[in-house]
Copies of this chain bind each other. A is one copy, B any other.
Amino acid sequence: MPSALERSKALFIRRWGELSGYWGINRTMAELHALLYISAEPLCTDDIMAALQISRGNASMNIRQLVDWGLITRQHRKGDRKEYFAAETDVWEMFQCIVRERRRREVEPIIETIERCRKMAAEELETLSEAERQQAEIYGRRLNDLAEFLNAVNALLNALLSSGQPGIEMLKAILPPS
């Protein structure tokens, strides 16, 4: 029978994994991250395979991705050829890694696409009938609204990312003086 501590950790890992679906990352990657985040010591690949019951290949792939995101780092020990992995434990740093990656994958591409769509729709406008031209006008306005909003979001994210180390304090500062 596992201890309450073990069960608590398992629950945390499972839940973090379940939420992964909403984050555009896969379950195993999220579980792996949770495992390292709550681990007192860096773990090696075999530790991870045993803890999450996954294959070596799967572990390797997901470790690599987490390293790419900047959420975990490789570590070495003197006189040991194995690699060990440790998670970033500063929550604010973690958050920045995630924001940076998601902005790159989501916000920027859609802004870029909207720009392309606007250019494309502007072509051939003169060849359209009156009714079609009205439709095009509405379409253009919708794209515009969205682009304006996304640019504001993007600027906000930039501000968050470049705000050095004020960390959680900055977030709190934004809040209404409750």
Interface residues of A: mostly helix, strand, loop or mixed? Answer: helix
Report if A54 contacts B (CB, 8 A): no
A95 cross-chain contacts in B, Cβ below 8 A = 149
A4 cross-chain contacts in B, Cβ below 8 A = 120-121, 123-124
Q: Which of A149-164 contact B (CB under 8 A)?
A: 149, 152-153, 155-156, 159
Report if A80 contacts B (CB, 8 A): no
- Count this chain's copies in the assembly: 2
Contact partner of A8 among B12, B105, B121, B146, CB < 8 A?
Answer: B121
Contact surface of A with B, Cβ cutoff 8 Å: 3-5, 7-9, 11-12, 15-16, 19, 21-24, 37-38, 40, 89, 91-92, 95, 102, 105-106, 109-110, 113-114, 116-118, 120-121, 123-124, 127-128, 132, 134-136, 138-139, 142-143, 145-146, 148-149, 152-153, 155-156, 159, 168, 171-172, 174-176, 178
Determine the residue in chain B with the shortest Cβ distance to A106. Answer: B22
Whether the Cβ atoms of A110 and B142 lie closer than 8 Å is no
A22 to B105, CA, bound (A): 8
Minimum CB–CB distance from A21 to chain B (whole Å) comes to 5
A168 cross-chain contacts in B, Cβ below 8 A = 148-149, 152
Whether the Cβ atoms of A117 and B8 lie closer than 8 Å is yes
A116 to B135, CA, bound (A): 53
A145 cross-chain contacts in B, Cβ below 8 A = 89, 91
A16 cross-chain contacts in B, Cβ below 8 A = 110
Whether the Cβ atoms of B159 and A120 lie closer than 8 Å is no
A3 cross-chain contacts in B, Cβ below 8 A = 124, 127-128, 132
Minimum CB–CB distance from A118 to chain B (whole Å) comes to 8
Whether the Cβ atoms of A138 and B91 lie closer than 8 Å is no
Determine the residue in chain B with the shortest Cβ distance to A176. Answer: B159
